[in-house]
Structure 1
Amino acid sequence: MTTPFIRRATPGDTDAVLRILRQTYEATWKPELTPDAIARFERSGHTRRYVDERLCAMYVAESGEEVAGLIDWDKDFIDALHVSPDHQRHGIGSKLLLQAEAAIAAAGHAQVRLETDTFNHAARSFYLRHGYAETGFYPDEEWHSGFTTVQMTKKL
């Protein structure tokens, strides 16, 4: 495995970012959703709209010639951190997270925040290993999934 290279996303990364988001949805969230929630999400077009709106703010990790992961943040909040299942557990997520934390700190923020779901044990463990604390639990009102959202924070 080559050392990942982090760079700002470009319009040419659109298909790769959509692929990674689809892969992580299929592997992580879809198995937890009800059939109604799956249908509602897949009809929504949310993923494509999100990428169209936020791609220019994202950073991607390249491993070899392939985009293997992405991160997106705004102010002190990490909106998304996804690594292709084929590239997980190779340090790509850690490198992306460090990139975002450094930029958030450089912008003058004293903490970084993010959300995940209680069922997502892998993500919760990853963030806990990186110094995050679970600071709040509340129903997922954005997606109406029936999940419980976990807010996590880290002082910078």
Structure 2
Amino acid sequence: MYPVPGILPAMTKLTFQLEIRPALPADAQAVEAILTDTYLGTWKPQLTAAAAAAFERQGKTRSYVEARLQAFRVACVDGVPAAMVDWENNFIWALHVGRTWQRMGLGGALLAHAEGEIARAGHCEARLETDTFNVQSRSFYRRHGYAEIDFYPDESWDSGFTTVLLSKALPPA
């Protein structure tokens, strides 16, 4: 753990303890809440009512957490999970920061952690996807050295979205 300065929306300065660790079974509900929060704030406003209803009915968030929790790393603020990252080989499947905790460095810390582990596993590149409408994530990844290398239809949401594939060269570990 190490202290990370953060800024609250009211611009009150504080220091909090940030710990990045493997997700535990006890974190499942908190991780699902983080994913639901980012879905509500980012994806749901872009979806048609029918696509949103279908996604919510299918229970994909809970199924994803149940299937992959053991691979997740969580960023905990003062012991509370506030963000998560999931990667496999050199592909980052998900990086989500709860809206309350965004713009405090958690996403950058998790991304750096994942990139370090990917490099230590012998990969020279990290890859990930986002959607063209997600201006916030595209800007975040550009600031962290990612280049947009391909665009293709997003088949996950049945929405007409376009997926952006991003890539970043990693230094040898």
Identity %: 55
Which aligned runs of 4 or more in structure 1 are off by greater than 3 angstroms?
none
Q: Show the 5 A alignment for 1:1-156.
A: 1-156=15-170
Q: Deviations along 1:49-105, whole A, 9 cap, x unmatched?
A: 100010000000011131110000000000000001000000000000001000000
Deviation digits for residues 12-50 of structure 1, max 9, x if unmatched?
000100100010000000000001100110111111110
Please tell me whether Structure 1 or Structure 2 has the larger radius of gyration of its CA atoms.
Answer: 2
TM-score by length of 1: 0.98
Instruction: Note the residue ranges of structure 2 that are not aligned, 5 or more in a row.
Output: 1-14
Amino acid at match of 2:69: L
Unaligned runs of 5+ in 1: none
Q: Distance in 2 between matches of 1:32 and 1:74?
A: 27
Task: Work out the CA distance in 1 between the residues paired with 2:158 and 2:130.
Answer: 14
The count of residues paired between Structure 1 and Structure 2 equals: 156
Give a deviation string over 1:103-138, Cα, whole Å, max 9, x none: 000001110100000010000000000000000001
Q: CA RMSD in A?
A: 0.8
CA distance in 1, matches of 2:159, 2:121: 33
> If each structure's helix is expressed as a fraction of its own residues, which one has the higher value?
1
Preserved CA contact (<8 Å) 2:19 2:79 = no
